[in-house]
Structure 1
Amino acid sequence: MPTQMRKLRLHGFNNLTKTLSFNIYDICYAVTPEQRQAYIEYIDEAYNAERLTQILTDVTNIIGANILNIAHQDYDPEGASVTILISEEPVMAEELSNTEAPGPLPESVVGHLDKSHITVHTYPESHPDGGISTFRADIDVSTCGRISPLKALNYLIHSFESDIVIMDYRVRGFTRDVRGKKHFIDHKISSIQNYIARDTKEKYQMIDVNVYQENIFHTKMILKEYDLDNYLFGLHPSDLADKEIKAIDQRLQREMAEIFYGRNLRRGL
């Protein structure tokens, strides 16, 4: 891995593009049409364009960027999107650290980026068979220059109630120092996990799939603890027979496993 280049003297602008793609999934059991509709309405209210705009605005503060423009939209019947154009703020960027350490949590966050952007799109989804409903939020933070989006990870993870989190981080392009030497990355990184707080790591099972020589890093997370009561929308375990509870439990765990591993599993697994 390249050595840290905190005091690297560049020729012109830092042309490295650093992109964090962050996907979260929330799963629930809502068996009746009314329960499914109520779940979709709850998600639409909890993660509407106004709240998502605030989350992304906080992200720009964390990574030390300037907001140039904001576009946001709630969709009918469900879903929302927000796009923020950003530019690097020179003074703030010099004070920020890209070291492998967690960034701030939501309660400690106190937008500032050219040729860069932050986007979020939500995808509430349900199916009449099986009673499973899901909510997915896709967030992309793409920066050009010294600043890195990885410091926003802690805040993003704590901003959503996530059963599964899938993250990709890639550094693209190159920048030149004053001697003309190309640099394809300007900070040390061995794993996205190093930017996540310990309390979060204790809650999730995590796996890495990294391609170090290409500056591509991939981490997947799934909750370790499973409490059925947290996944029943409009129901309580006491309303169900033991046989029903077992069947619902199997459906939910299967759904989460398929999303986590990215493939349909054979029956009985």
Structure 2
Amino acid sequence: MNLTPEQRIQLHGFNNLTKSLSFNMYDICYTKTKEEREAYIAYIDEQYNSDRLTSILNHVADIIGAHVLNTAKQDYVPQGASVTLLVSEGPVVEVPIDTFEETPGPLPSTVVMALDKSHITVHTYPEYHPSEGISTFRADIDVSTCGEISPLKALRYLIHSFDTDIMMIDYRVRGFTRDIYGNKLFIDHEINSIQNYIPKEQSKLYDMIDVNIYQENTFHTKCRLKQFDLNNYLFGYAKDSLSAGEQAEIERLLRREMDEIFYHITK
């Protein structure tokens, strides 16, 4: 929200608080054969190449009010991509949290964005079960900022940038700054849950659990997609091509994978 000068905390010098927003995101797919698995990996690699990653990170920089100074990008063989953006904090642009005007975009593959004393990184990890046909595509995203820039402003856009089955979201405010009287400030805004920064049209799609340590300014929310449609987890064909028994077995494997990731247990 926009604050008047009277509402802002008056600081002694620069705001030294570090605000870090971290994601673990999982997309799960059933790939029955080696050919299907290779086609799925090729699809991921094409959809999330360095050009598209550069576009998405430039948008993130706009949302949080950062200024991009330089860009380096690379597509790797046989798969994967990296993008590095050198960014300065620049003038702070307040983006009202309740408007959420950001548009969806593609999921970054491997990205590093360096701000003035801050950074944004994204790495992806495709992997598969050796025998059961489950492929899991994981993305780790970290947005760490200093000063008045808030990574929470980009939360809706980051969630909207891809379709995901499970999300683990962490937010932590580290370090301290000082007010004009020299008193230490360990946080400069109110927050009691990451869920408060997820719009209702997004949050209603997920079952969510919080684990928060308020005295440490550490907040954790994990989200699991409520709706299950087997067609969304098959690559290259529809469930109507499978027998009822095959559908039931594939659904069992997929749900077990989701349970193990969401609850951090192995069944």
Same topology, TM > 0.5: yes
- Measure the CA separation in 2 of the matches of 1:80 and 1:54: 13
Match status 1:51 vs 2:48: no
Report what 1:105 is aligned to: 102
- Shifted more, 206-215 versus 5-14: the winner is 5-14
* Cα distance change, pair 190–177 in 1 and its aligned pair in 2 (3 A): same
Compare the two structures and name the one with the higher helix fraction: 1
Report what 2:34 is aligned to: 33
- Measure the CA separation in 2 of the matches of 1:55 and 1:261: 30
Q: Pick the aligned partner of 1:208 from 189, 210, 214.
A: 210
- Measure the CA separation in 2 of the matches of 1:261 and 1:82: 32
Report what 2:239 is aligned to: 237
* Cα distance change, pair 151–103 in 1 and its aligned pair in 2 (3 A): farther
Match status 1:7 vs 2:15: no
Report what 1:142 is aligned to: 144
State the number of aligned residues.
Answer: 255
Report what 1:131 is aligned to: 133
List aligned pairs for 1:110-121, cutoff 5 A. 113-121=115-123
CA contact (8 A) 2:171 2:194 kept: yes
CA contact (8 A) 2:84 2:114 kept: no
Deviation at 1:8, TM superposition (A): 1.2
Which consecutive residues of structure 1, in runs of 5 or more, have no partner in the other structure?
none
Give the alignment's TM-score, normalised by structure 2.
0.89
2:237 match: secondary structure? coil
Give the alignment's TM-score, normalised by structure 1.
0.89
User: Among the aligned pairs, what percent are the same residue?
Assistant: 62
Report what 1:189 is aligned to: 191
CA contact (8 A) 1:96 1:147 kept: no
Aligned partner letter, 1:28: C
Deviation at 1:102, TM superposition (A): 6.8
1:60 match: secondary structure? helix
1:209 match: secondary structure? strand
- Measure the CA separation in 2 of the matches of 1:198 and 1:261: 24
Report what 1:152 is aligned to: 154
- Measure the CA separation in 2 of the matches of 1:96 and 1:88: 15
Which consecutive residues of structure 2, in runs of 5 or more, have no partner in the other structure?
1-5, 106-112
Report what 2:71 is aligned to: 70
Deviations 1:216-261 (A, max 9, x none): 0111111000000110112321221111111100000111111111
Report what 2:220 is aligned to: 218
